[in-house]
A and B are shown apart, each in its own frame.
Chain A
Amino acid sequence: MPLVNGGKIADDSFVKLAVDTPLPEGGDILVPAERFVGEADALLKRAGKIGVIWPNNRDISELVPYLGKLAVVALVFPTFRDGRAYSQARLLRERYNYRGELRATGQVLRDQFVFMLRAGFDSFEVKKQADAEAFMQTAKRYSVFYQPTGDGRITALHRRMQLRHSEGVGT
């Protein structure tokens, strides 16, 4: 699956480990949640970056003690219809101030990019090559947003206020 990071198709330096794959010497690794929680101390001491794959039915606040040391949190969309990871993403970004890479994995299609970006994802394991290629174009589809989220984009309500005030100054 192509990875889109920083708006471009990028190489993925991370190797995904299963629960029982032997730990490689060096290099960047992505570890499933249960393994990560079980061996966190050992894993974090190792050279190379570490990320965790967190299922969408597990309380994301469990990750809080480790957030400063994680390079990637990968959240999971088992189907594109299952939107639990959107809430997890916003909690990570907005409540727990996670600033590392937040990756969307699973059934990631182009029609979700805008929602995902707004929820705080910045990297995407995209299911279809064509969707990955269309990333920039799709991400720019909307210029108006009604709700505030942690992405800091100005909402329609506030844009109107600004327009009003600037009109007010002119007259």
Chain B
Amino acid sequence: MYAYDEIDRTLVNERVSEFRDQVQRRLSGELTEDEFKMLRLQNGVYLQLHAYMFRVAIPYGTLASNQLRALAHVARKYDRGYGHFTTRQNIQFNWIKLSDLPDALADLAEVGIHAMQTSGNNMRNVTSDQWAGVAPGEIEDPRIWSELIRQHTTLHPEFSFLPRKFKIAITASDHDRAAIKVHDIGLRLIKNEKGETGFEVLVGGGLGRTPFIGKTIKHFVHGRDLLSYIEAILRVYNQYGRRDNIYKARIKILVHELGIEKFSREVEEEWQHIRHSSLEIDDEVIEDIRSRFIYPAYEKLPHMPDELRQAAADPNFEAWRKNSVASHKNPGYSIVTISLKPIGAPPGDATAEQMDALADLADKYSFGEIRVGHEQNLALPHVAKRDLPALWKALDKLGLATPNVNLITDIIACPGLDYCSLANARSIPIAQELTRRFANHELANLIGRLHINISGCINACGHHHVGHIGILGVEKNGEEVYQITIGGRADENAALGNLIGPGVKFDEVADVVEDIVEAYLALRERPDELFMDTVKRLGVEPFKERVYATR
């Protein structure tokens, strides 16, 4: 966990008081809606279909139990008793009153949580691997660097009015759980031949209307130069990024229009000017941040405790353990993923009661720490293996032990027409229907790892381009139509999915997905050939045939 000190707390409080003043000026009419819009967005407040939506940052996905309780409190006191965890390691509340927002922010500030820059054309919440600091084989905890960037980008005086929003993600593992290739800047922590820490820097990835996979702009930037290099990229983008058309304003378009070579020359030139400045990070600064990440006092525990051996007799426990429990860097411990995808429910929702109960479980079994992943699931990062059976029982009682992590019902979906003012189509009901279709655990397990991603419009909040099966809602002649892609992925081999054919109607989506899955089961070479691999081997044709032959 990262411990905020008095300095961080002061800033958060100053931000709350500024926002309170801004809300007051809006309510009194001193600020027009146009003027206020930018200010509220910078504090995570959107005006949605039915009400204001409030988006709270969870930097690099790490939460302390008291922070999760504070989120539960906001859900209960100012909203309708639940929150929605998102693909950006944020949580959203959908039914909040403008006049309550300053109080909600003040309550969150007490535990070091804020909503700064969760929206608006500035640098957004820095995201990272939800297993950071505990994943075996990672180079080092990427959150130390995420925190450095979080601080540097918060209320940045040059980059708070960029051409468009700007997202940075960091990973330190070979297996990329942070989707760095679909971010404006993606950072992969590596060591050079001398054993020094640095970063491969990718730029220009993103989804939305014009999806791109990020390109490597530099193979190694030393840790000490990280901030100056990022600043150079942003300065080039701020000056040359398009502002005439919001659809072309993202850095991915600038990189695409200039070409990565020309873009990187511009950045390089800028960087040489600022590289050896006060932006150079000395080891002492990094050590200071490192020292404020507090790691649990792990015990020496058996790799295979009796409790686990005994529980293995219960097939329900085993089903859950197989897909929810991952290896930890300390033997004797595990990382437990908590599915927020119960059958028939909106993906990513948690009630205030569930949040409170999870905070208690985190205190009891995970040194008070919780993680939020971009798949809209939560995780407990330090669970002793002997506690797994007890934890499972407790989660099951809360409805949080659905054994579907990484399976076909672990669906990522945006809110779509149920909440979002930009939506063209419904997303949540599609997700709900699909979870019912594939509720049978044996079948889901037989299918194996398969990610479905659903977006209610081209903005791609549900990451449909990078879903193994991607579903995009569009509007055609006043009707909701869904375009289906296959073969996308957001990991270290990130790829955009390919369209399988014409869009299908709302009622047909689940049937089409079933057809695709049946085709896969018939076409795979071996039971362990994953959906993704079959698609890679055969392309879209056989799937297209199966889906459209009878339609």
Contacts and interface: CB of A to CB of B under 8 A. Distances in A.
Contacts of B285: 157-158, 161
B238 A84 contact: yes
Contact of B157 (A95, A130, A149): A149
B157 A86 contact: yes
Contacts, number: 95
Nearest to A60: B239
Q: Would you call the interface of chain A mostly helix, strand, loop, or mixed?
A: helix
Contacts of B8: 144, 156
The 10 closest A-B pairs by CB, nearest first: A83-B161, A118-B157, A148-B278, A144-B11, A146-B151, A115-B157, A86-B158, A156-B7, A119-B157, A87-B238
A80 B38 contact: yes
A80 B154 contact: no
Interface string B21-36: 0100000001000010
A97 interface: no
Given A81-B121, A148-B278, A86 B18 contact: no
B224 interface: no
A100 B35 CA distance: 30
B152 A81 contact: no
A140 B383 CA distance: 46
Given A80-B38, A142-B11, A160 B288 contact: yes
Interface in A38-78: none
Interface in B1-45: 5, 7-8, 10-11, 14, 17-18, 22, 30, 35, 38-39
A143 B10 contact: yes
A142 to B, nearest CB: 5
B288 A149 contact: no
23 contacts: A82-B161, A83-B159, A86-B157, A86-B160, A87-B235, A87-B239, A90-B157, A115-B155, A115-B160, A115-B161, A118-B157, A141-B14, A142-B11, A144-B11, A145-B155, A146-B154, A147-B156, A147-B157, A148-B277, A158-B285, A159-B7, A160-B7, A164-B288
Interface residues of A, number: 36
Contacts of B155: 114-115, 142, 145-146
A50 to B, nearest CB: 26
Nearest to B278: A148
Interface in A103-162: 109, 111, 114-119, 130, 141-149, 155-161
B309 interface: no
B288 A157 contact: yes
A43 B288 CA distance: 53
B243 interface: yes
